[in-house]
Amino acid sequence: MREAMLGDGPLHPPDHVRHDVRMDGVFFRRASLHVPFAGALDPGNYSYCVMVREGGLRLETDFPETLAVDLGPGDAIAVSGLVPHVFRSPGAAAVLRAERFETHPMREAAASAEIELVIGVAPNESLALGSLMVGPIVVRRSEHPDLSRRLWKAVEMLEEEYADASWIDRNLVVRRLAEIMMVNFSRRLFADRRRAGGAPASRHVVLAIDAFLREPERAWTLAELARAAGMSRTRFVEEFKLVTGQSPGRIVSRMRLTAAAHRLAREHLSVESAADEAGYSSSAAFVRAFQREFGETPARWRRHQTAFPNVARGASPFVAAIQEMSAR
């Protein structure tokens, strides 16, 4: 029997297509900032998308490596709420106290200010852990015009949805648009892999990574990840290295350390307990591996998270929005 076709390919999706990821609870807000400005997004299990409509900002972070990213009009960046960071306006002094982002609902017109942003928030632990492992993803209007254009088209549709609260399925449409935006950020990431001679993420490799993200505290072995991918160990190793450029053992080690870093930040967990749960025979070996991977000791990482770059404490617009959605 002839195989059903869709266009030039088979009706069933090809093996390399990334599977669907739900972004339940996602929402968007505006921010109008006056210079000089220094601020940080709420720390926690959130993935953020910051899109610059007017003005410019610089993101500074030292996890998973020291990085400074300049953003201009039309640029966008995805970052994890688990990452210590600060956003600064051009020329803002390093000693300027970092404040909370003052935001307002999407349905309100943007106030006149030097910097205008659209900020998406996905309160999803797996997404936050995943973006923590990957690091910030930048889409620039000048360098990635097609991806930038698609992101801003999605923003236009989001603004239309937020402007009319009468639609009972508005949150569903917002979630779908956010998922489309996430796909375009993923394309940005995979484009780098293709230029480096790698391959798109296969469904099997993604399944293995997702299995870890669902149970990051579990001491995963290479054989278990291969089973989660539905592959033999040998084939899994080969395909994983083709996709990521690194061995599964290297990535598994990073995922374990990332999960440990996450728990150190949110729980009263001792370094000894973190070392044991991460599968290290001693706390000294764990500290060495942690510092080699992330450039700082577990103790310094925890201090960065609890202090969270000098951010002024107080009412959080993002947490308030999450609480409001939960109460509906």
| 207 lies in the same domain as 270 | yes
Domain boundary among 175, 195, 215: 195
Write down how long the chain is: 328
| 71 lies in the same domain as 182 | yes
| 55 lies in the same domain as 176 | yes
Say if 155 falls within a structural domain: yes
Say if 240 falls within a structural domain: yes
DSSP 8-class letter at 35: S
| 36 lies in the same domain as 172 | yes
Helix, strand, coil shares, percent, the chain, to 5? 45, 15, 40
| Single-letter amino acid code for the residue at 19 | H
Say if 253 falls within a structural domain: yes
Mean pLDDT of the chain: 78
Mean pLDDT of 6-13: 38
Residue 181: which CATH number?
2.60.120.10
Q: What share of the chain has pLDDT > 70, as a percent? A: 75
Residue 254: which CATH number?
1.10.10.60
- Residues 135 and 66 sit within 8 Å (Cβ to Cβ): no
Mean pLDDT of 95-124: 84
Q: Please tell me the distance from the alpha carbon of residue 208 to that of residue 221, in angstroms, as a whole number.
A: 11
Say if 324 falls within a structural domain: no
| Distances 81 to 42, 85, 124, 126, 321 between C-alpha atoms, Å | 6, 9, 10, 12, 16
Say if 7 falls within a structural domain: no
Query: What is the SS3 assignment for 146-198?
Result: HHHHHHHHHHHHHHHHHHCCCCCCHHHHHHHHHHHHHHHHHHHHHHHHHHCCC
| 138 lies in the same domain as 272 | no
Say if 18 falls within a structural domain: no
Say if 181 falls within a structural domain: yes
How do residues 224-266 score in pLDDT, each as one tens digit? 988 988 889 998 888 887 766 678 877 778 777 877 877 787 7
**Position 328 confidence tier, pLDDT thresholds 50, 70, 90:** very low
| 191 lies in the same domain as 222 | no
**Position 322 confidence tier, pLDDT thresholds 50, 70, 90:** very low
Domain count within the chain? 2
Position 13 scores a pLDDT of 40
The domain of 207 spans: 203-307
| 95 lies in the same domain as 146 | yes
- Residues 119 and 31 sit within 8 Å (Cβ to Cβ): yes
How do residues 30-46 score in pLDDT, each as one tens digit? 999 999 999 888 877 78
| 142 lies in the same domain as 268 | no
Position 106 scores a pLDDT of 92
324/38: higher pLDDT: 38
| Single-letter amino acid code for the residue at 121 | V
How do residues 154-169 score in pLDDT, each as one tens digit? 999 999 999 988 888 8
Element (H, E) at 286: helix 283-294
Mean pLDDT of 200-227: 75
How do residues 55-92 score in pLDDT, each as one tens digit? 999 998 866 667 899 999 999 999 888 777 889 998 87
Position 175 scores a pLDDT of 92
- Residues 78 and 290 sit within 8 Å (Cβ to Cβ): no
| 110 lies in the same domain as 84 | yes
120/100: higher pLDDT: 120
| 31 lies in the same domain as 177 | yes
Q: Does the pLDDT value for residue 141 go beyond 90?
A: yes
Which has the closest alpha carbon to 184: 326, 51, 278?
51
Domain boundary among 170, 195, 220: 195
| 279 lies in the same domain as 240 | yes
Position 216 scores a pLDDT of 65
Domain boundary among 164, 195, 226: 195
How do residues 265-298 score in pLDDT, each as one tens digit? 777 888 898 888 788 888 999 999 888 887 788 8
Which has the closest alpha carbon to 115: 51, 160, 43?
51
Say if 183 falls within a structural domain: yes
| 150 lies in the same domain as 276 | no
Q: Does the pLDDT value for residue 316 go beyond 60?
A: no
Which has the closest alpha carbon to 101: 90, 82, 83, 88?
88
Mean pLDDT of 131-149: 85
